[in-house]
Amino acid sequence: MMTSLYGILGVLLALVTSGHSLSCTQCTSTSTSCTGSSVTCSSGNQCGVIYTTTTTGISATASYTMSCLSLNDCSLSGSLTTNGGRIKSAASCCNTTDNCTPTLPSLPGDSTVSNGVTCRSCASASSTWCYTSDTIQCTGNESMCLLQSTQLSGSQSLATAIRGCSTQSFCNFGSQSYSVDGLSTSIKFVCTSGSTGLRKGFYLPAVICLFFLKLLI
């Protein structure tokens, strides 16, 4: 169940960002390419790819999502680590032609160097809240304590929460929501400051993709 939860979060991170009159391919896969229908983007958006990997123990999954992205989202690169696993995500964009294919984004590197920040670490597959005395020592650029919560309602129901060390880029997602195919989704990303010492996390909203719901079955 925890592996499924982290897989879902990986896809969430790929869809938190949303998508000129440029037309772009919209699709999702577990490889490094995909095909899908063409959609018309909002003004100022570009064709983007968000590539995400999720590692839990010896298990690793990936998600590759093409869609319309805002210019700010094209520079996404970040990671989230808990005692149960790690998620890395990065984006790239193009606007040369309609339905152009961006280059595969480069994911953040690994670091074992402590940055002095300690965060709570927990995960829930049945609630938008989790809290525990368990902590994790943050490393590298993951200098923020984050709680990410997801609420899905409609034809299916789902509530998840994950708390751990995060880069600032994930904290910048804030609160997002959308509805598609009879499903309403709300995702929240909330962080505390990354100064040294134990940080207590708060709520943060976000978005979900049905692509990984099968992992919960």
Model confidence over 89-144: pLDDT tens digits? 999 999 999 999 999 999 999 999 999 999 999 999 899 999 889 999 999 999 99
Q: How far apart are CA 47 and CA 73, in angstroms?
A: 11
With contact defined as beta carbons under 8 Å apart, do 208 and 217 qualify?
no
CA-to-CA separations, 210 to 28, 31, 64, in angstroms, rounded: 10, 17, 14
The one-letter amino acid at 65: T
Residue 156: how many other CB atoms lie within 10 Å: 13
Rounded to a whole number of angstroms, the distance between the first and last alpha carbons of the chain is 9
- Considering the domain 114-216 in this protein, what is its CATH number? 2.10.60.10
Q: State residue 201's pLDDT score.
A: 31
Angle at 66 between CA 30 and CA 69, to 5 degrees: 140
Q: Is the pLDDT of residue 186 over 90?
A: no
Domain coordinates in residue numbering, the chain:
2-94, 114-216
- Closest of 117, 125, 160, 121 to residue 142, by C-alpha: 117
pLDDT tens-digit map of 5-64:
555 555 555 555 443 479 999 998 999 999 999 999 988 899 999 999 999 888 889 999
Report the CATH architecture of 2-94. Ribbon (2.10)
- Separation CA 54–CA 86 (nearest Å): 6
